[in-house]
Amino acid sequence: MRIRVLICDDQTFVRAGARAILEPEADMVIVGEAKDAQEALVLARRTLPDIALLGIQPKMPQMSSAIQDLGSFVKVILLTGLDEASLVLGAIRVGARGEVRKDSPPEDVLRVVRTVAAGDAVLTPATTRAVLDWATKGPPAVAEVPPEVRRLSKRESRVLDLLAQGWSNAEIAGILCVSAATVRSHVHHLLTKLGLRDRVQAVVFAYQHGLVRRHECMFRSSGCGCTPIADGGQ
């Protein structure tokens, strides 16, 4: 089946550029274009796209609620410009699944669309740096641990911590001396318990609530000297 894509941006040339990149692809089909998030929401309800490419419009007061509504049934990818990392973080909080710069080469745009359509999430290096910068400032002054965090097992809490530090499933498996399948299971369970959609939201959640621990060093499985833990241990 082809990936159904809705394009939304207030600039005509941006929409035309996105269409020119996506339309020739055999595994993609453009189901419509919109000029703003509210129009995109109406169109999405009618056309039921898999992906909504949504240009950030910071002056639009309903942007956040529109992303939240769209994200309930469509995977939202943000079309971003320069210096919009903080806006992206806010959008991810309410349901966006990834982002791609408007000046990205075509192959990057296609990669992001296919990756998000497959169920993963994508952040640009600039937004990743913003998350890391946020982390270096420490937890919020009045950070309260949400009640749902207490539902996490010790192992799930540890996996969340490692996710927030940017480790992949394979790397986390090496650090904890368990299988990658076990890590995937822990990730699935912690996302379910926290009511989050994907790893990106988990990272933002962890930093927002001061859940990320500072480690003097991290050890990979190669020569880490860790004590093996039974697969599936808590």
Domain ranges of the chain: 3-123, 138-208
Is residue 183 within 8 Å of 173, Cβ to Cβ? yes
Q: Which pair of structure tokens corresponds to residue 166?
A: 């940017």
Residue 108 falls in which region: left (phi positive, over 0), alpha (psi -120 to 50) or beta:
alpha
Contacts of 207 (CB under 8 A, 6+ apart): 131, 134, 135, 164
pLDDT in tens, 88-145: 777 777 788 889 989 999 999 999 999 999 888 887 777 777 666 665 665 444 456 7
Residue 142's pLDDT is 42
Residue 7's pLDDT is 98
CATH topology match: 3-123 vs 138-208: no
pLDDT in tens, 206-227: 877 777 654 433 333 333 444 3
pLDDT in tens, 26-47: 999 999 999 988 899 999 999 9
Fold of 138-208: Arc Repressor Mutant, subunit A (1.10.10)
Please state, in angstroms and rounded to a whole number, the distance separating the CA atoms of residues 233 and 153: 10
Total-model pTM = 0.63
Q: What is the DSSP letter of 141?
A: T
Is residue 7 within 8 Å of 30, Cβ to Cβ? yes
CATH number for the segment(s) 3-123: 3.40.50.2300
pLDDT in tens, 189-201: 999 999 988 887 8
Residue 226's pLDDT is 45
Q: Which stretch, 20-29, 53-62, 126-135, 223-232, has highest mean pLDDT?
A: 20-29
Is the predicted pLDDT of residue 186 greater than 50, yes or no? yes
Neighbours of 184 (CB within 10 A): 14
Stronger pLDDT, 142 or 86, i.e. the higher one: 86
Residue 222's pLDDT is 35
Residue 228's pLDDT is 35
